[in-house]
Amino acid sequence: MHDDRMKQAIRGRWAVAAVFLVNGFLIGSWAPQIPVTRDRLEISEFSLGLLILGFGLGALVAMPACGYLIGRIGSRSTVKLFGLASTFGLLVVALAPGIWAAAAALVLLGALIGGTDVAMNANAVEVEKQMRRAIMSSSHGFWSVGGFIGGGAGGAVIQATDHRVHAAIVTAIALGAMLVAVRFMVTEPRPEAQVPHRFALPRNPIVYLVGLIALFSMIPEGAVLDWAAIYLREERGSDLATAGLGFAAFSATMALMRFVGDKVRNRFGAVRTLRVSSLVAAAGMLVAGFAVEPWIAIAAFGFAGLGIANMVPIAFSAAGNQPGTSSGASLSTVTLMGYSGILVAPSAIGFVGERFGFAPVYVAVSVLLVVVCLMAGLARAAEFEAAAESGRPAQ
């Protein structure tokens, strides 16, 4: 019986990895569609930024609602609901005939992607409980692999065919993979209602400072996801296929580092890993901002991805291990602050980029990453997790 449960958990481990992969693939596929959307709707960077803001707001609204739904019907059923629907989201955006239709489609896409994100993370936690070992870091690595595939191939497919054909191909691939994956996902023993019913914000100020670390760590990801293609195409003169490689390189290096992230943290500790990672990311963003040739900028984005990879997981671990504070309240606060950096901040970046260009934006982002380096000591609560996994005492 025990062997059967373990085999089921192992299948569930790869099933949830596939869901992470598809989720990243969908977001990565959206990246090369962004400049096409701007051109076909004949809108400015500011207007495009407002559309992207709708994507972020849709996700931020769906995330807590999805969390409640998971408590009622379980993470597997919630992934079925949101995950399968999300595979059609990009196609709806690509077919939107005007700006208002595109705005509604992006809100819908953001809500479906964001809801799937919460549900797949919850399912990964359940797999960890059943397998009694960590899989979260590598699961996020699969998300980055999906982003790399979607961003890397998307520009070339659009250039060779049409943005609608590209969206249809993405939908078919994502739907097929998701249909297979949800069949093998694990289920919780019994979904329980969310408790307590009254939500209270954490009183510990360290939680909000850690939230700033998460925010400053995710703003660079949003800046690359939503604006790297336009930056490379408009300001560095690349073609459409090359422009999509900025986020692809960023996602590829993030994936590689996330697959070894747990070992790095166990070896060097959370604070030191965060400090070095933030400096690596800052250097990459700084070079990307000053790069003259598109291939230098793409390489710099890839270098930055090595640093960004482990910063958010460390921030989330630090939030969940704050002494004297509810883990759930701390994590929900830090998660909301962090995801604002990838879902909401890009609209402000578009506003600045339209007036001053995106090169200064990436330079400014590097400054935020230096601030993370200076704040790294606040992540000391995450040392316990790394120390426990490595079998050595916490420092």
**Angstrom distance (rounded) from CA 326 to CA 352:** 38
User: What are the pLDDT digits (tens) for 10-37?
Assistant: 899 999 999 999 999 999 898 888 888 8
Quick check: 340 and 221 in contact, CB under 8 A?
no
**Angstrom distance (rounded) from CA 191 to CA 327:** 19
Long-range Cβ contact pairs of 154-159 (< 8 A, separation 24 or more)? 154/28, 154/29, 154/31, 154/32, 154/33, 154/244, 155/32, 155/229, 155/240, 155/241, 155/242, 155/243, 155/244, 155/245, 156/241, 156/244, 158/32, 158/33, 158/36, 158/240, 159/239, 159/240, 159/241
Judge if pTM exceeds 0.85: no
Higher pLDDT, 284 or 130: 284
pLDDT value of residue 332: 63
User: What are the pLDDT digits (tens) for 37-69?
Assistant: 888 888 887 788 788 888 888 888 887 777 678
Q: Confidence band (pLDDT; 50, 70, 90) for 199? A: very low
Residue 89 has pLDDT above 90, yes or no: yes
**Would you list the DSSP string of 107-144?**
HHHHHHHHHHHHHHHHHHHHHHHHHTS--HHHHHHHHH
pLDDT value of residue 320: 63
Residue 384 has pLDDT above 50, yes or no: no
Classified as helix, coil or strand, 211 is: helix
Residue 120, burial from CB neighbour count under 10 angstroms (0-12, 13-18, 19+): buried
**Angstrom distance (rounded) from CA 342 to CA 313:** 15
**Angstrom distance (rounded) from CA 269 to CA 275:** 10
**Angstrom distance (rounded) from CA 353 to CA 94:** 24
pLDDT value of residue 193: 45
User: What are the pLDDT digits (tens) for 148-198?
Assistant: 899 888 888 888 888 999 999 999 999 999 999 999 998 877 644 444 444
Quick check: 99 and 148 in contact, CB under 8 A?
no
